[in-house]
């Protein structure tokens, strides 16, 4: 294995196919990290903010915005020449409770909530106008069975806040691409509900460019066929496809759930944490082959896919060390705990890039 700088980076391997992105941990942006910059330069031409632009971070109190992370993140993206993503304007998680309440602590009515949301979008999108090139405007408003998620957003404002959010984001930065982002888009019923609603939005003249299929996958599920059908249907409905939060969980799941329902939590035990001292070579190869089949699929549909973003740089810093079981040792990403590339995984992805 050569020094990492000797090898062609992922962004070059897939040049002309789709962008290769990575989610940035808040600490990497705020404090810098000597290992991170060369990895970014070599492999990635798009950045996403893992947590730093979520409502609770950027707008923690009604009269206080905190743009320290955002400013640094955007500067980092500019320096890299990256296609910089904003994530996410409206979501039911990581949003403070005050957003939904008036001064007396009572729930707002629909108009007041939408107004508050529009103000937030105006401030955040406005600040990074022309710099953040694409926004996850709305995240995860459908349940897996295709019904609306009964979040505070939905309970107060029905589905109307969604259209209002896209309209406002477009008004504030008409050049920015706008996306809907969700997990388990490979489930046909959920996907149908998403596509029906987004097509309706589009037919009303509301800008929406693409759909983020998050891509929090397990080592052996969902099947490539299910993911492929997702790509085909999203494309058929007239939206560009993005894999926005790709990672591959190698650990056993207490119950089958491929997505990112953060409410799941199980207490830790050795049964659920088998690789504390390192991944077996067998499982490492399985991981490499799983990534290979995913990237063969992406390559096959490169005309439909605009971006593939990994949800983090390295295993030491992945959310999957704490989900759905806290404090485990997981290995879902391309770089190990020492920020070294997993050569086997990289080689298999490279082979996949040559497939048709």
DSSP 97: G
245 is annotated as an active-site residue: yes
Residue 191 CB, nearest distance to ligand GLA (Å)?
Answer: 16
For ligand GLA, give the closer residue by CB, 239 or 346. Answer: 239
Q: Is 10 in the site for ligand GLA (CB under 6 A)?
A: no
CA distance 332 to 251: 9
Q: Is 319 in the site for ligand GLA (CB under 6 A)?
A: yes
Tell which one of 69, 73, 183, 331 touches ligand GLA (CB under 6 A): 183
Tell which one of 214, 314, 317, 353 touches ligand GLA (CB under 6 A): 214
Residue 216 CB, nearest distance to ligand GLA (Å)?
Answer: 6
Tell which one of 26, 139, 151, 317 touches ligand GLA (CB under 6 A): 139
Please state whether the peptide bond connecting residue 88 to the residue before it is cis, i.e. omega within 30 degrees of 0: yes
Q: Is 26 in the site for ligand GLA (CB under 6 A)?
A: no
Residue 144 CB, nearest distance to ligand GLA (Å)?
Answer: 14
Distances (CA, A) of 255 to 29, 143, 144, 168, 251: 34, 17, 15, 39, 12
C-beta separation of 97 from 156 below 8 A: no
Stretch 240-259: interaction string toward ligand GLA, x if CB under 6 A: -----x--------------
Cβ within 8 Å of residue 3, ≥6 positions away: none
For ligand GLA, give the closer residue by CB, 245 or 315. Answer: 245
Residue 241 CB, nearest distance to ligand GLA (Å)?
Answer: 16
For ligand GLA, give the closer residue by CB, 245 or 336. Answer: 245
CA distance 259 to 214: 9
Residue 179 CB, nearest distance to ligand GLA (Å)?
Answer: 11
CA distance 203 to 239: 13
Q: For the chain, how far is it from start to end, CA to CA, in angstroms? A: 26
Tell which one of 260, 279, 287, 333 touches ligand GLA (CB under 6 A): 260
CA distance 74 to 56: 18
Residue 245 CB, nearest distance to ligand GLA (Å)?
Answer: 5
C-beta separation of 310 from 21 below 8 A: yes
Distances (CA, A) of 142 to 22, 66, 159, 292, 324: 25, 29, 10, 30, 20
Tokens of 21: 């992105």
Residue 44 CB, nearest distance to ligand GLA (Å)?
Answer: 18
Q: Is 179 in the site for ligand GLA (CB under 6 A)?
A: no
Q: How many residues bind ligand GLA (CB under 6 A)?
A: 6
Q: Which of residues 67-86 bind ligand GLA (CB under 6 A)?
A: none
Query: For residue 59, which of 95, 10, 31 has the smallest C-alpha distance?
Result: 95
258 is annotated as an active-site residue: no
Q: Is 330 in the site for ligand GLA (CB under 6 A)?
A: no
For ligand GLA, give the closer residue by CB, 177 or 245. Answer: 245
Please compute Rg for the chain using Cα positions.
20
Tokens of 200: 């309706």
For ligand GLA, give the closer residue by CB, 139 or 296. Answer: 139
CA distance 216 to 92: 18
Residue of minimal CB distance from ligand GLA?
A: 319
Q: Which of residues 269-298 bind ligand GLA (CB under 6 A)?
A: none
**Catalytic residue from among 245, 258, 284, 348:** 245
- Angle at CA of residue 71, ends 4 and 75, nearest 5°: 40
Residues that bind ligand GLA (CB under 6 A): 139, 183, 214, 245, 260, 319
Catalytic residue annotation:
140, 245
């Amino acid at each position: 294995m050569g020094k990492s700088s000797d090898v062609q980076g992922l962004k070059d391997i897939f040049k002309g196919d789709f962008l290769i992105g990575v989610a940035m941990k808040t600490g990497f942006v705020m404090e810098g990290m000597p290992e991170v910059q060369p990895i970014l330069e070599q492999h990635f031409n798009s950045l996403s903010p893992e947590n730093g632009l979520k409502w609770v971070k950027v707008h923690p109190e009604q009269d206080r915005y905190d743009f320290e992370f955002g400013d640094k993140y955007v500067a980092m993206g500019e320096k890299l020449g990256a296609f910089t993503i904003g994530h996410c304007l409206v979501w039911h998680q990581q949003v403070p409770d005050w957003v939904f309440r008036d001064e007396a602590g009572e729930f707002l009515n629909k108009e007041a909530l939408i107004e508050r949301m529009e103000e937030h979008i105006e401030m955040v999108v406005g600040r990074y106008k022309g710099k953040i090139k694409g926004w996850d405007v709305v995240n995860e408003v459908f349940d897996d069975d295709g019904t609306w998620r009964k979040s505070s957003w939905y309970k107060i404002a029905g589905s109307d806040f969604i259209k209002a959010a896209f309209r406002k984001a477009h008004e504030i930065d008409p050049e920015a691409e706008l996306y809907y982002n969700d997990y388990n888009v490979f489930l046909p019923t959920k996907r149908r509900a998403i596509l029906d609603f987004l097509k309706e939005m589009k037919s009303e003249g509301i800008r929406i460019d693409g759909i983020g299929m998050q891509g929090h996958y397990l080592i052996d599920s969902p099947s490539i066929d299910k993911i492929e059908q997702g790509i085909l249907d999203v494309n058929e409905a007239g939206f560009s496809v993005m894999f926005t939060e790709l990672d591959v969980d190698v650990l056993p799941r207490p119950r089958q759930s491929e997505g990112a329902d953060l409410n799941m939590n199980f207490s830790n035990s050795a049964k659920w944490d088998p690789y504390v001292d390192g991944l077996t070579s067998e499982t490492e190869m399985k991981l490499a082959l799983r990534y290979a089949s995913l990237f063969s699929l992406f390559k096959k549909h490169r005309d439909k896919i605009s971006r593939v973003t990994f949800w983090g740089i390295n295993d030491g810093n992945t959310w999957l060390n704490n989900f759905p079981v806290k404090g485990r040792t997981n290995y879902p990403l391309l770089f190990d705990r020492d920020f070294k590339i997993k050569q086997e995984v990289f080689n298999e992805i490279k082979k996949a890039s040559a497939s048709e």
